[in-house]
Amino acid sequence: MTTHDYEAELQAERQYVDALYARLDEDRARAKDRYAEALRGDIDKQDGSTLVNRDAHVRALGKEVSRLDVADSGLCFGQLESVDGERSYIGRLGLFDNENDYEPLLLDWRAPAARPFYVATAASPEGMKRRRQFHTRGRQVLDFTDEVLGRPDTGERGDAALLAAVNAPRTEGMNDIVATIQAEQDEIIRLEHPGVLIIEGGPGTGKTVVALHRVAYLLYTQRERMERHGVLVIGPSPAFLNHVGRVLPSLGETNVVFMTTGDLVPGLHTTAEDTPEAARAKGSLRMLEVLAAAVADRQRTPAEPLPIRLADVTVQIDAGIAGWAIQEARDAGMPHNDARAVFVDVVTWALTERAIARIGKGWLTRDDKQAWEHLRAELIDELEDHDGFKAALNELWPELTPEALLADLYESPQRLKAAGADESLLRADGRAWTVSDVPLLDELVDLLGGIKPDAAAEKDRQEEAAYAAGVLDLMVAREDLMDDEDHLIAADLIGAEELADRFIEQDNRELAERAAADRDWTYRHVVVDEAQELSEMDWRVLMRRCPARSFTIVGDLAQRRSEAGARSWEAMMAPYVADRWVYRPLTVNYRTPAEIMTVAAAVLAEFAPGIQPPVSVRSCGVQPWSKKVTEDELPAAIAEFAAEEAARDGTSVVIGPPGVPGAVSAALTKGLEFDAVLVVEPDRILADGPRGAAELYVALTRATQRLGVLHHRDLPPSLSGLDLKEA
């Protein structure tokens, strides 16, 4: 193509994309008008059924506005030309010509017809003869690159758009890859598998963003089924979630909840960190036995009989009565707090039987059933208000919260021993929660059950229901005045309890907000990133959150840091999904240049010799370097690096062991990427814990352009390939 022809084509493409944006603006203006009109609806003149429909209509219109809003930047990715000469434009969402039989002006990237844009190659052109990829900024098409298909000799990589994307300076948030998805990635994104998909890939293979685009694809192809329950995305840290959090909204998907494993119990705040020994113990499935034993330990018989002094007689709760009641309660098969009612009933029956026998001695027999039961009722009333009886019940079978039970367990060597727990769990402040405590607290929610609401809370609930019933009565009275037999009465659709729920403010929140606040919420699909770090107990929590067992799991066993983490995907999945999981590797490194990956691969070869590093698709032309300094010179050398990088476009980070000024740990950078990385004191990183080599591997592979290493002691042998930088 001559320069003149290229300029003419570029101008034509710019005009077409401008027309797409004009259509987008028109559609968005109409959607906003409909949304505003729905919000102005006269609520006072609507019955219960109309309110329900109105809420659904408003939410749907709000989502449509949000969907159209995300496309302001990078609306159109490029164009496909078939062997028949037909052209199709591919973009962030679908747009149609409303005046011409709804002909597609722009294909949504998830549509089946758009797939050749990502998978067509020279050897397998998918009926296409050319792929054109746009390079855009905002709404402007800057230029384009053409790749001619169907000619095997030309090779499969004409991905100028891809290389432009990976060479561009990093930003604070992760960019979507929807314009530059590669065939290996697209196959995984569109994989039709109803169970668990495990995506494993080394640094820079795009496994995280592939998983997020898979969610967008599933929400597009299975929207009705997926949207009702939403999607949960689990990441290793808040920083990571902030980094990836814009990808799905940029693709128009908002019914997604982002959490770390530490957020899985709503309202809990983790403030401490476990020792490796404690984390390993808490992550093991053996904790199920420990927790069950800890609960059973709180169901006790008295060492000495407990006297209950009533008005006419004194009775005792002895080991025999308590033991019988405990057994009956356990045999009921209910959670601890729910089974307490059985325990109380048995103890109450036994005590009243003894009391009646003593009070009625000489004048009352069991044959007089009416008198016997009348006396029992009086004694039960007395016991219900008896402080000593309440105290005895609380001592023998207390109502327990997960937090109280676990904190008491951690603070008591005796209770830990009675439960068969590892002594590493002992700590002074039982409520200094760690991330490893979250699955244990979640497990205890099911083991303990709920606590009966107090009288004040129940009274408030009854008042809400009574108010709602009054509203329903008014609706029914009004409907009775209407001579319209076809009009449904509101009471036919909703009851007082349901209407009361509508008056609670949280019910009007968006799905993602409601789901995040509800421990019992179940999701249609769950994405787990850095999954190699999750323990056996973590997986139990996540499986409870997704009964359908629909997961996209992303990880790299070579980067495992946690002692409780995965050593085998099969070992983690088999207890829950048997053979309903598939494994797909990613082998191409799009982020880390070959110069840096060569250095990282040497570290990988030492601690995981059986694992092949991903192959880098590019070089950056800058060799990684090392510089030896004295301990006193270290702060100034770090400041010099920071100043140099501040003068450039892009992002940078200093990674080092604890105590290095201005440095963060490698664990905090997992899943993140930076233009430049400075690794400080690599020998100390290697020596810091059993997974130090994995941490160093993670640190070295965060950089997309430049890597430096500062040290004041000798370099580890695995880093001998670094260029020496003179002081």
Whether the pLDDT of residue 601 is over 90: the answer is: yes
**Confidence tier at 661 by pLDDT (50, 70, 90):** confident
SS3 of residue 652 by DSSP? strand
Whether 455 contacts 16, CB under 8 Å: no
| Residue 12, pLDDT score | 95
Percent of the chain residues past pLDDT 70, beyond the cut: 84
How many whole angstroms separate alpha carbon 699 and alpha carbon 697? Answer: 5
Q: pLDDT band at 245, cuts 50/70/90? A: confident
Residue pair 73/139 in contact (Cβ under 8 Å)? The answer is yes
In angstroms, rounded to a whole number, what is the distance separating the alpha carbons of residues 637 and 628?
10
- The reply, when asked if residue 203 is annotated as ligand binding, is yes
- Give the confidence band of 610 by pLDDT, cuts at 50, 70, 90: confident
Q: Over 80: is that where the pLDDT of 482 sits?
A: no
Q: pLDDT at residue 690 above 80?
A: no
Structure tokens at 621: 């032309």
625 has pLDDT over 70: yes
- Return the DSSP state at 690: T
Q: Output the CA–CA distances (angstroms, integers) from residue 112 to 134, 191, 415, in the order listed.
A: 20, 12, 59
Confidence of residue 320 (pLDDT cuts 50, 70, 90): very high
Span 496-503, mean pLDDT?
A: 50
Q: What is the mean pLDDT of residues 236-242?
A: 86
233 beta partners = 258, 527
Confidence of residue 579 (pLDDT cuts 50, 70, 90): confident
**What's the CA gap between 411 and 428, in Å, rounded?**
6
205 has binding-site annotation: yes
Tokens of 230: 């939403």
User: Residue 173: pLDDT band by 50, 70, 90 thresholds?
Assistant: low
C-alpha triplet 447, 449, 453: angle, nearest 5°: 160
**Quick one: which of 88, 115, 106 has its CA closest to 23?**
106
Whether 621 has a pLDDT exceeding 60, the answer reads: yes
Write the pLDDT tens digit of every residue in 365-377: 888 899 999 999 9
The pLDDT assigned to 166 comes to 53
Judge whether 190-265+519-589 and 594-724 match in fold.
yes
Residue 123, pLDDT score: 66
pLDDT for the residue 172: 52
Strand, helix or coil for residue 251: coil
SS3 call for 331:
helix
Q: Would you state the structure tokens that stand for residue 514, as one six-digit string?
A: 């409601």
Which amino acid is it at 640? Answer: E
204 annotated to bind ligand? yes
Nearest-5° Cα angle at 73, 167 to 677 = 30
Tell me phi and psi for residue 406, to 5 degrees: -70, -40
Enumerate the domain spans of the chain.
3-156, 190-265+519-589, 276-439, 594-724
- 286 compared with 154, residue with greater pLDDT: 286
- The fraction of the chain above a pLDDT of 90, given in percent, is 52
Contacts 24+ apart (CB under 8 A), 414-418: 415/294, 415/297, 418/293, 418/294, 418/297
Give the per-residue pLDDT at 209: 85
Residue 710 is predicted with a pLDDT of 96
Please state which of the four CATH numbers 3.40.50.300, 3.30.460.10, 3.65.10.10, 3.30.465.10 is assigned to the domain occupying 594-724. Answer: 3.40.50.300
- pLDDT surpassing 70 at residue 481: no
Q: Give pLDDT tens digits for 380-414.
A: 999 999 999 999 999 999 999 999 999 999 999 99
pLDDT of 684 strictly over 90:
yes
Position with higher pLDDT, 74 vs 552: 552
User: What value does the mean pLDDT take over residues 22-32?
Assistant: 91
User: Residue 543's closest CA among 497, 506, 574?
Assistant: 574
pLDDT higher than 70, residue 317: yes
Average of pLDDT values for 184-196?
A: 88
Q: Tell me, what DSSP letter sits at residue 667?
A: G
Q: Where are the alpha helices (DSSP H) in 263-385?
A: 276-283, 287-297, 319-331, 336-359, 369-384
pLDDT higher than threshold 80 for residue 445: yes
Arithmetic mean of pLDDT, 91-99: 86
Check whether 208 is labelled as a binding-site residue: yes
> What pLDDT score was predicted for residue 71?
73
Q: What is the DSSP string of 124-192?
A: --TTEEEEEEEEEETTEEEEEEEEE-S-GGG-S---HHHHHHHHSPP-SSPPP-TTT--HHHHHHHT--
Checking if the pLDDT of 506 tops 80, the result is: no
Average pLDDT over the chain reads 85
Give the pLDDT score at 58. Answer: 77
Residues facing 307 on adjacent strands: 316
* 527-551 mean pLDDT: 95
Predicted confidence band at 484 (pLDDT cuts at 50, 70, 90)?
very low
Q: What band does 459 get if pLDDT is binned at 50, 70 and 90?
A: low
The Cβ of residue 521 has, within 10 Å, a number of other Cβ atoms equal to 16
157: pLDDT confidence band, cut at 50, 70 and 90?
very low
What is the mean predicted confidence (pLDDT) over 297-303?
A: 97
pLDDT at residue 454 is higher than 60 = no
Q: Residue 365 has what pLDDT?
A: 86
Question: In whole angstroms, how far apart are CA 666 and each of 191, 659, 704?
Answer: 32, 13, 16
Exposure string for 238-252, b = 16+ CB within 10 A, e = fewer: eebbebbbbbbebbb
Cα separation, 256 vs 523, in Å, equals 10
Residue 467 pLDDT grade (very low, low, confident, very high; cuts 50, 70, 90): low
- pLDDT in the model for residue 51: 61
What is the third-level CATH fold of 190-265+519-589? Rossmann fold (3.40.50)
Per-residue CA distances from 429 to 209, 271, 406, 441 (Å): 39, 11, 11, 16
Mean pLDDT of 414-430: 96
Q: Which amino acid, 4?
A: H
Q: Output the six-digit token pair for 698.
A: 């993670």
- Give yes or no for residue 258 having a pLDDT over 50: yes
Q: Is the pLDDT score of 55 beyond 60?
A: yes
Give the DSSP per-residue string, 547-601: TT--EEEEE-GGG---TTS-S-HHHHHHHHHTT-EEEEEE-EESSS-HHHHHHHH
Alpha-carbon separation of residue 143 from 6, 11, 117 (angstroms)? 9, 10, 18
pLDDT at 152: 40
> Which CA distances in Å does 213 have to 180, 250, 546?
12, 11, 19
Inter-CA distances, 14 with 7, 70, 158, 197, 617, Å: 10, 20, 22, 40, 30
Inform me whether the pLDDT recorded for 464 exceeds 80: no
Quick one: how many helices (H) and strands (E) in the chain?
Answer: 27, 21
pLDDT beyond 80 at 67: no
pLDDT(175) > 60: no
**pLDDT score of 156:** 38
Calpha distance 646→210 (Å, rounded): 31
Average pLDDT, integer, range 246-258: 77
Burial class (CB in 10 A: 0-12, 13-18, 19+), 214: buried
CB 698 within 8 A of CB 615: no
Question: Hey, what are 306's tokens?
Answer: 């407990």
283 is in an annotated binding site: no
Q: What is the structure's pLDDT at 488?
A: 39
**Quick one: DSSP state of residue 320?**
H
- Average pLDDT on 69-96 reads 88
Cα-Cα-Cα-Cα torsion 363, 368, 370, 374, nearest 10 degrees, comes to: 30
Q: What is the pLDDT of residue 167?
A: 56
